[in-house]
Amino acid sequence: MMPITPVEERMAGESILVVEDEANIAKLLTMYLEKDGYRVLVARDGQQGLERFERDHPDMVILDLLLPKMDGLEVCRRIRRQSFVPLLMLTAKRDETDKIVGLELGADDYMTKPFSPREMVTRVRAILRRAKQSTVTAVSLDGTLEFDDLMIDVPRHEVRVGARVVALTAKEFELLRTLAGSPGKVFSRDALLNQVWGYDYYGDARTVDVHVGTLRKKVEAQPSSPRWIKTVWGIGYKFEDAITEASA
């Protein structure tokens, strides 16, 4: 079978960290991903997975949910504390709760075992393509997220709209950074509570609405008809990036 991936993409040789304790599945994933031009790193338990992630900075992570030493949800949570790396979760369970928790912790997608290797490769390509199209991936190397006239300097905790520096509270900043870090991605209120306020925070989901309201007043030209921070009815919020939308 001829690879469909364009040459320039294959040349990039993106690296994918596979965290999977079942040898057969790890082998199958490796075989199919390598055939598609990716470099594959394999970790056999959660702790090793996290270590390899921190050491090797892969372009994407495929993470099994049930792992020895540290489970997949905990690995996901720890990776998300430090990175927006694309993350695909694998689950053998039919239990919907785990998938939802995984997505709320920041996984980009999930697949239920048994899966078709070909579908897995298609998903991986799609997730990586989406990640590349987002402006963030390109500019966040120095810690700055830039969208048109909105500039988020993460290391300095500084936000500018045009030439104007906007004073945000710590939570407003964290909220904006989280949303803008994954343009186009829908975050539920619970996911935002977990990521911005911390997993142990037992707040009301309305806390999120209140902060989105004040944040919009500070960064949006028209807070009642926001350009960046969009409401997704019945679910939560997303940051809209013109490039993400155009290519969706």
User: Which residues sit at the interface with Ca ion, rule CB under 5 A?
Assistant: 21, 64, 66
Quick one: 49 or 181, whose CB is closer to Ca ion? Answer: 49
Looking at residue 44, the DSSP 8-state letter turns out to be: S
Please identify, using beta-carbon distances, which residue of 64 and 172 lies nearer to Ca ion: 64
In whole angstroms, the minimum distance from the beta carbon of 66 to Ca ion comes to 4
Q: Which is nearer to Ca ion, 21 or 174 (CB)?
A: 21
Q: Which is nearer to Ca ion, 64 or 108 (CB)?
A: 64
Q: What is the DSSP string of 125-184?
A: HHHHHHHHHSHHHHHGGGTEEEETTEEEETTTTEEEETTEEE---HHHHHHHHHHHHSTT
152: its two tokens? 């988020």
φ and ψ at residue 196, rounded to 5 degrees:
-95, -40
- Closest residue (Cβ) to Ca ion? 66
Three-state DSSP class for 232? Answer: strand
81 Cβ partners below 8 Å, 6+ apart?
Answer: none
| Least distance between Ca ion and beta carbon 211 (Å) | 37
Rounded to a whole number of angstroms, the minimum distance from the CB of residue 195 to Ca ion is: 25
The least CB distance from residue 23 to Ca ion, in Å, is: 10
